[in-house]
Chains A and B, each alone.
Chain A
Amino acid sequence: MISGHGGDEVEAYLARPSDEGSRGGVVVIHHMPGYDRGTKEITRRFAELGYDAICPNLYWREGPGAAPDDAAATARAQGGVPDERLIGDVGGAAAYLRALPSSNGKAGVIGYCSGGRQSVLAACSLDLDAAVDCYGAFVTGTPPAEFPLKVTNLVDQLPNIRCPLLGLFGKEDSYPTPEQVAELDEILTENDKPHEFHSYEDAGHAFFATDRPSYRPAAANDGWERIEAFYATNLGG
């Protein structure tokens, strides 16, 4: 358990290298389907890469102890995760990592799908050292107004982003579209915000998800290499 938004106790999945030493930390933000096996596998991969990694269960309040898919359904029906709560939970997870004896004081964030948007959101609001956005929709662009999920774009907040951003996208994705990715790139460039974007041919949304038909090994393998290099630069030392 970690201390999340408002001091709430929130479940989290922790994966750490077994060896001694000083290292950075990674907060993994799960996708909309929740705190599932695939996201925990990703969290373990960051430990294998040499980072202390943690994934907070963003739906813990809606479904403590529930199956991840049931908790995700409940959270969706209730309008999704409020941005303020997300920031508090990611901040709590980063603080947890930085308090570990092995921490070098640096913490990054990565998110997939809805978590991609939330990764950018966290980077605009928290003192983090690196952020990765994997195909997050509605960082730019206009969300549909008629739906109960209360999501807004982050255009107003982008000038406040506090750390370098790595963006990994599929050219065949509709959420976000290549045009929305280009708009994000443009806004960050205009604001002199360090960022590095890669958009893959023959890949749509969720190309990292190994258990889904959307999985694209070539894009995912290259993406993982980009993430490794980006975190080595920004979270190492």
Chain B
Amino acid sequence: MCTYATVQTTLEGSAKGPAGRWFHVTDGTVYFDHPVHAMAEHTLNIDFADPSRGPAARVAVELTAASARDLVAAIQAALESAPAELRR
């Protein structure tokens, strides 16, 4: 299916991208639609990107719906495990 479902957010951080180089990440695009590579009909896809550096400045992740939910829970758990003053 083409859900067209797309949610965007700004991000502040870094990712390791093409040619093994780190780059500054400014944008996140999250969508539930066709994967390019994952062997599932639909996946939760996340692009970590810096559009100012061109289309290739992107780290792409394609996760099954269940594993995307597991990831959300893991991120929450990791954040909550840290002292409050470190995660502002």
* A residues neighboring B (CB under 8 Å): 31-33, 36, 62-63, 66-67, 69-74, 76-77, 80, 113-114, 136-138, 143-144, 147-149, 151, 173-175, 204-206, 212-214
Contacts and interface: CB of A to CB of B under 8 A. Distances in A.
6 contacts: A69-B36, A72-B36, A73-B47, A138-B4, A151-B4, A206-B34
Contacts of B31: 76
Contacts of A62: 55
A215 to B, nearest CB: 10
Interface centre among A63, A74, A136, A143 (most CB of B within 10 A): A74
Interface residues of B, number: 25
B55 A70 contact: yes
Given A33-B34, A144-B5, A77 B41 contact: no
Contact of A73 (B3, B39, B40, B60): B60
Contacts of B14: none
Interface of B: 1-8, 27, 29, 31, 33-34, 36, 39-41, 47, 49, 51, 54-56, 58, 60
Given A67-B55, A204-B41, A143 B34 contact: no
Given A32-B34, A66-B56, A77 B3 contact: no
Name the 9 nearest CB pairs between A and B, nearest first. A175-B1, A63-B55, A66-B55, A70-B55, A205-B1, A74-B55, A77-B29, A69-B36, A149-B4
A148 B5 CA distance: 8
B4 A114 contact: yes
A80 B7 CA distance: 13
Contacts of A147: 4-7
Nearest to B37: A69
Nearest to A73: B47
Contacts of B51: 74, 77
A73 B56 CA distance: 10
A68 to B, nearest CB: 8
